[in-house]
Structure 1
């Protein structure tokens, strides 16, 4: 048996054994384990859990409403599960997080690949599948297989697991070489591919999905090797208590579907980005939005909305074209009807400042007129639907929702009823009659998607500005990598 195949088989057997152990541990509530002096007992006694993590868009970062990120939400949920508070050290890269949890702290949660060969550490059950992916610079000949990697300047993150896959492949493809560093993150790798400092990079599929809209010069290549598993790491000397508690928490999260929803919310953007035309949107974001961003910010200050939401609505209406005109006579950046413009005191619908201000005030007016029983995001989504289809038709849809046994105060129920306004059997019984009820459903969905992209861009803007400058070396060079040479 070839060395690579033997090592892969052993790796899979070790993973299977770990999974079996995780299942066994999940069958017993964590509180039934009473370690004489373990990490779990210490955590419960001192009333907080200390976690080492990384500051990345897919792990943990400071968002508009405070700390967020895929693993942060998991960490927060685990702390609540234990009934303790949470403290974080987010100053790490992967290797330093592992070293820190060996010395101190309770666990490491930093997009860590499950690695049974790590000394003095034990791991939780798998959390997320990590598929290594080769990406390359647009303009190069298509890279569709391992044979196409010879001679390419490839980069990856040391310790992320992608480097381990490359080493396993190198055993059967000795011509394979690459560069690796623990001091770079995914966005920086993609930036270097786009700027020709690297020809290609090996990252994980979900990371590329989250970042691809920012790097239009980077192409998806092909999956590399077998999927790995993301897991949490614990100090082996701390006993099994905390690991078992984490396994129970993750088991419950997976069983009731919350983990799938969390994964979809943080990593499920790619499907809809293609639907809304991501490249066109990003091009307009770079070329058009800067001209009008301050108008949206000013309107947001006056109306209490997030400026990015108003910008998303403006993009859905006109693609940020201040002279846009529809066949039905709505005009301008926010596509105001003539009656709405008159009501809002807008004298020139083609004036961007007047249009944005008038559109924002009209959305505020519509939202304020909704019944008080509609709260939170449901209220916002129904206000946006009414901006598109009119309040009268929205009220008709709410009435239909009630007739169907749904909750007229929940957007999730009302959006199912809106398309029925296109059917005579339903609209003939309403006060306001026929409406193209499917349109506001798509309208709200698109605005929410544009808003998500704008939010992601906004929180990442400083990071990408720094990447574009790349002042990392004394001579303006890209960050230094350690070179893993071919073994020919």
Structure 2
């Protein structure tokens, strides 16, 4: 029984490494059918179409109820998931990238297969949001960050894994640890992600996923989503 559990754990880690590395590749090179590939996100203001005025409060999108309910069931902040959805698709439910990522959260078909979800359901907003939550939770579980890690660092490391690949983030954390630095600090890990383009670092024996050239895109992704999440926290409860 113990060996079976160990084998399942190793298979999950291997899957996430492959999945999120590919997922990060998708994020760097996909060309969505709408303006979702815009390089800079405007700060959310009351006039921003992503935040619709609703009486005395703010509605982030028409998918608030779905994102709030499912994220609550999965233990995630719905405003963070909304920030991801805005970045990924501008809340466009039927968007499909040229590499196959689909829906509000731009979920890859391989994610649906991992969670035994039929491919034809990927464009369903509820299914799409559920899969994004499940994937984030798998990443968080695999990273095994200590409870003492500040929430901003925790979120940033998870988002970086979601975008750039958990394998590369794990490499950067191992590099940080081997150089006597904090592997749980996003700023430290981000620096080593950038250094993973240098053979002096990506050829280090602790590195398992090789060279990483997507640092700028991943850094921008984390910064953009976190800034939008902070703003959503100010206007939506």
Q: CA deviation at 1:390?
A: 1.8
Q: Does 1:277 align with 2:55?
A: no
Q: Could you say what secondary structure the match of 1:448 adopts?
A: helix
Q: Does 1:340 align with 2:111?
A: yes
Q: Does 1:433 align with 2:206?
A: no
Q: Is the 8 A contact 1:344 1:362 kept in 2?
A: no
Residue equivalent to 1:448:
226
Residue equivalent to 1:381:
156
Q: Could you say what secondary structure the match of 1:334 adopts?
A: coil
Q: CA deviation at 1:454?
A: 0.9
Q: Could you say what secondary structure the match of 2:189 adopts?
A: helix
Residue equivalent to 1:113:
none
- Are the structure 2 counterparts of residues 338 and 455 from structure 1 closer, same or farther at C-alpha, using a change threshold of 3 Å? same
Separation in structure 2 between the aligned mates of residue 326 and residue 351 of structure 1, nearest angstrom: 16
Residue equivalent to 1:309:
80
RMSD: 2.3
Greater RCO (Cα-Cα under 8 Å, separation 6 or more): 2
Separation in structure 2 between the aligned mates of residue 434 and residue 330 of structure 1, nearest angstrom: 24
Separation in structure 2 between the aligned mates of residue 458 and residue 312 of structure 1, nearest angstrom: 12
Q: Could you say what secondary structure the match of 1:284 adopts?
A: coil
Separation in structure 1 between the aligned mates of residue 194 and residue 98 of structure 2, nearest angstrom: 22
Q: Is the 8 A contact 2:52 2:61 kept in 1?
A: yes
- Are the structure 2 counterparts of residues 424 and 338 from structure 1 closer, same or farther at C-alpha, using a change threshold of 3 Å? farther
Q: Is the 8 A contact 1:418 1:441 kept in 2?
A: no
Separation in structure 2 between the aligned mates of residue 407 and residue 296 of structure 1, nearest angstrom: 33
Residue equivalent to 1:263:
none
Separation in structure 1 between the aligned mates of residue 172 and residue 43 of structure 2, nearest angstrom: 31
Q: Give the helix-richer structure, 1 or 2.
A: 2
- Are the structure 2 counterparts of residues 345 and 372 from structure 1 closer, same or farther at C-alpha, using a change threshold of 3 Å? same
Q: Deviations over 1:340-391 (max 9, x none)?
A: 1211233222111110011011101111221243634122221111111221
Q: Deviations over 1:437-480 (max 9, x none)?
A: 33222211111111111111115xxxxxxxxxxxxxxxxxxxxx
| TM-score, normalised with respect to structure 1 | 0.35
Q: Is the 8 A contact 1:345 1:358 kept in 2?
A: no
- Are the structure 2 counterparts of residues 286 and 424 from structure 1 closer, same or farther at C-alpha, using a change threshold of 3 Å? farther
Unmatched 5+ stretches in structure 1: 1-274, 460-488
The 5 A counterparts of 1:47-446 are 276-278=41-43, 282-286=48-52, 289-347=60-118, 348-373=121-146, 375-377=149-151, 378-429=153-204, 430-435=207-212, 436-446=214-224
Once superposed, which parts of structure 1, at least 4 consecutive aligned residues long, lie more than 4 Å away? Answer: none
Q: Deviations over 1:178-217 (max 9, x none)?
A: xxxxxxxxxxxxxxxxxxxxxxxxxxxxxxxxxxxxxxxx
The count of corresponding residues between Structure 1 and Structure 2 is 185
Separation in structure 1 between the aligned mates of residue 180 and residue 145 of structure 2, nearest angstrom: 20
Q: Give the strand-richer structure, 1 or 2.
A: 1
Q: Is the 8 A contact 1:346 1:355 kept in 2?
A: no
Q: Could you say what secondary structure the match of 1:291 adopts?
A: coil
Unmatched 5+ stretches in structure 2: 1-39, 54-58
| TM-score, normalised with respect to structure 2 | 0.70
Q: Could you say what secondary structure the match of 2:49 adopts?
A: helix
Q: Is the 8 A contact 1:341 1:349 kept in 2?
A: yes
